[in-house]
């Protein structure tokens, strides 16, 4: 394993050297920009050191396979997908550690969009007074036309849904996933919990019988936060008084390989730490593929969350889910981008012929930004990555991921991204997208009407446990 990821302590000790190497000749300029409190200069340095190493003239948009709506990769692959889902050999990685930062309402796991809607209308709801005050503040900060349109949409929803079910997005995702598996299925899962509310999430899971998941099949991880770094002469050191921030979703992937950080729980909720890594525990239980599931992806409270058609498309590209020497070792699901929004994209390096994800933070130099601006409707990364499990252990565990640099409040913080796994030699990434599928994320107040439509549709579709 890359020694930088042996533990959180090893990672934090390694970051200063990584930053020093990244800054290289820009070290002095970065010190001057921090001392001079020059955000423009800091942004330019950050963008330059994080930029793709591929020149803009060598980039092109890679072609992704299109899966016709409602179809898979053929009967044999669809049967294989159903088998992996039911047996637990397909492991969902539920990324529940995210916070609704733009909303300021805490963990997305507990975020109940129906109660948020009622709060906007001044109705009785389950939100705390502090949360209701935050909702009012968020509404007031919206442009007046946006406020009016939002309130009208929420009012229409409320008239049709007089008794909405109180349930957070995390539990909704778990119930949706479990409802799609046959009786007798024994799924396994990894759940990343929010550091500040881990105990509350575990209590909720225990009270609700893990929403149908077998307790012995669930492994928990808590993503730690990292204090910022400051310049000290010609060196870099950590500032223990700085705000602590998580090191990005790439770190959650690397935590799979850390010994002694994962745990399970017993019937009373007591934590049972693993001596080894969660990766090794799952490998011993026959895991073949792992799939990422974001908590704020609204399509994850629909049958998309455990869709054998989509999984079959990934399996076909992998050729053999047990053998890292065959086919692709990571398959990325993309979604259409008809509004031509700028962001990360599925790229081709014309000089090498290699395909990979280009993450947004790696595309912010003037040259790369100009290239992205010329793209026409480049598909977005839906962040529903499918990993061949054996390749995670042989390639990603050994290589590790880059701690990209971000300046916040005069301090430096590491930012790791899962998309970098598609850059690792031997992963041979491929991508597909379902015909006509768009992104449906819940990140800010303006997304609420769509989120309410999704939860209302789920309430009509599922038979909820009493």
Phi, then psi, of 100 in degrees rounded to 5? -80, 75
Residue 464 has what pLDDT?
Answer: 65
Segments making up each domain of the chain, as ranges: 3-102+185-435
Long-range contacts of 353-359 (CB under 8 A, 24+ apart): 355/62, 355/422, 355/429, 355/430, 355/431, 356/419, 356/422, 356/423, 356/429, 357/332, 357/381, 357/419, 357/422, 357/423, 357/429, 358/52, 358/59, 358/419, 359/417, 359/419, 359/420
Please state, as a whole number, how many other Cβ atoms lie within 10 Å of the Cβ of residue 385: 24
Give the residues across from 224 on adjacent strands. none
Chain segment 305-317, per-residue pLDDT in tens: 999 999 999 999 9
Q: Are strands 380-381 and 263-265 parallel, antiparallel or unpaired?
A: unpaired
CA torsion 261→266→270→271, rounded to 10°?
0
Angle between helices 113-120 and 129-140 in degrees, nearest 10: 70
* Length in residues, the chain: 466
Residue 104 has what pLDDT?
Answer: 86
Query: Which DSSP symbol is given to 127?
Result: S
Q: Residue 6 burial by CB count (10 A; 0-12/13-18/19+): exposed, middle or buried?
A: middle
Note the pTM of the prediction, 2 decimals: 0.94
- Residue scoring higher pLDDT (439 or 289): 289
> Distance from CA of residue 178 to its chain's centroid?
20
- Give the whole-angstrom CA distance, residue 254 versus residue 259: 11
> With helix as H, strand as E and coil as C, how does 355-379 read?
EEEECHHHCCCHHHHHHHHHCCCCC
Residue 361 has what pLDDT?
Answer: 94
- Give the whole-angstrom CA distance, residue 193 versus residue 222: 5
Residue 405 has what pLDDT?
Answer: 97
Long-range contacts of 313-316 (CB under 8 A, 24+ apart): 313/65, 313/67, 313/72, 313/73, 313/77, 313/432, 314/289, 314/386, 314/432, 315/73, 315/77, 315/80, 315/81, 315/84, 315/289, 316/73, 316/74, 316/77
Q: Per CATH, the architecture of 3-102+185-435 is what?
A: Alpha-Beta Complex (3.90)
Does the pLDDT at position 388 exceed 60? yes
Residue 90 has what pLDDT?
Answer: 98
CB 409 within 8 A of CB 243: yes
Chain segment 398-449, per-residue pLDDT in tens: 999 999 999 999 999 999 999 999 999 999 999 999 998 998 999 889 999 9
- Residue scoring higher pLDDT (95 or 466): 95
Residue 466 has what pLDDT?
Answer: 47
CB 237 within 8 A of CB 229: yes
Q: Could you tell me the CA-to-CA distances from 330 to 5, 77, 81, 277, 324 in Å, in that order?
A: 21, 17, 16, 21, 10
Chain segment 336-383, per-residue pLDDT in tens: 888 877 788 999 999 999 999 999 999 999 999 999 999 988 898 999
> Distance from CA of residue 415 to its chain's centroid?
13
Does the pLDDT at position 239 exceed 90? yes
- Give the whole-angstrom CA distance, residue 377 versus residue 157: 32
- Segment 166-182 shows an average pLDDT of 95
- Segment 229-240 shows an average pLDDT of 95
- DSSP run (H or E) holding 271: strand 271-273
Residue 465 has what pLDDT?
Answer: 55
- Give the whole-angstrom CA distance, residue 408 versus residue 15: 16
Confidence band, pLDDT 50/70/90 cuts, at residue 72: confident
Chain segment 28-51, per-residue pLDDT in tens: 999 999 999 999 999 999 999 999
């Amino acid at each position: 394993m890359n020694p930088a990821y042996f533990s959180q302590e090893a990672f934090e000790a390694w970051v200063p050297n990584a930053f020093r190497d990244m800054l290289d000749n820009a070290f002095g300029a970065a010190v001057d920009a921090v001392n001079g409190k020059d955000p423009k200069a800091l942004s330019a340095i950050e963008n330059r050191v994080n930029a793709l190493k591929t020149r803009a003239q060598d980039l092109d948009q890679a072609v992704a396979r299109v899966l016709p709506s409602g179809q898979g990769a053929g009967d044999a692959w669809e049967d294989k997908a159903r088998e992996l889902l039911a047996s637990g050999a397909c492991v969902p990685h539920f990324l529940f550690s995210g916070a609704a930062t733009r909303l300021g309402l805490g963990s997305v796991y507990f975020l109940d969009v129906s109660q948020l809607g009622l709060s906007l209308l001044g109705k009785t709801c389950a939100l705390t007074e502090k949360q209701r005050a935050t909702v009012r503040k968020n509404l007031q900060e919206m442009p007046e036309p946006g406020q009016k349109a939002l309130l009208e949409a929420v009012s229409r929803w409320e008239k049709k849904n007089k008794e909405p079910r109180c349930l957070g997005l995390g539990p909704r995702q778990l119930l949706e996933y479990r409802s799609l598996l046959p009786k007798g299925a024994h799924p396994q899962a990894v759940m990343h919990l929010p550091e500040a509310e881990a105990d509350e999430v575990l209590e909720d899971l225990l009270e609700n019988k893990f929403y149908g998941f077998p307790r012995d099949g669930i492994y928990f991880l808590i993503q730690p936060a990292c204090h910022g770094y400051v310049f000290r002469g010609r060196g870099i050191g950590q500032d223990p008084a700085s705000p602590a921030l998580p090191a990005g979703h790439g770190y959650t992937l690397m935590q799979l390989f850390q010994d002694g950080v994962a745990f399970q729980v017993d019937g009373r909720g007591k934590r049972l730490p693993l001596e080894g890594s969660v990766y090794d525990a799952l490998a011993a239980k026959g895991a073949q593929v792992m799939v990422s599931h974001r908590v704020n992806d609204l399509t994850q409270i629909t049958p998309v969350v455990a869709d054998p058609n989509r999984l079959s498309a990934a399996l076909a590209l992998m050729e053999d889910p047990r053998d890292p020497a065959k086919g692709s070792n990571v398959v990325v699901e993309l979604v259409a981008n008809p509004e031509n929004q700028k962001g990360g994209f599925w790229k081709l390096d014309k000089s090498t012929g290699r395909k990979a994800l280009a993450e947004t933070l790696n595309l912010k130099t003037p040259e790369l930004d100009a290239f992205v601006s010329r793209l026409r409707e480049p598909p977005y990364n839906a962040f529903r990555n499918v990993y061949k499990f054996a390749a995670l252990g042989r390639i990603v565990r050994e290589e590790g991921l880059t701690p990209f640099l971000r300046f916040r409040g005069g301090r430096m913080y590491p930012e790791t991204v899962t998309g970098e796994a598609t850059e690792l030699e031997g992963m041979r990434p491929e991508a597909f997208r379902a015909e006509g599928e768009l992104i449906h994320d819940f990140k800010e107040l303006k997304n609420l009407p769509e989120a309410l439509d999704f939860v209302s549709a789920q309430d009509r579709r599922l038979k909820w446990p009493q």
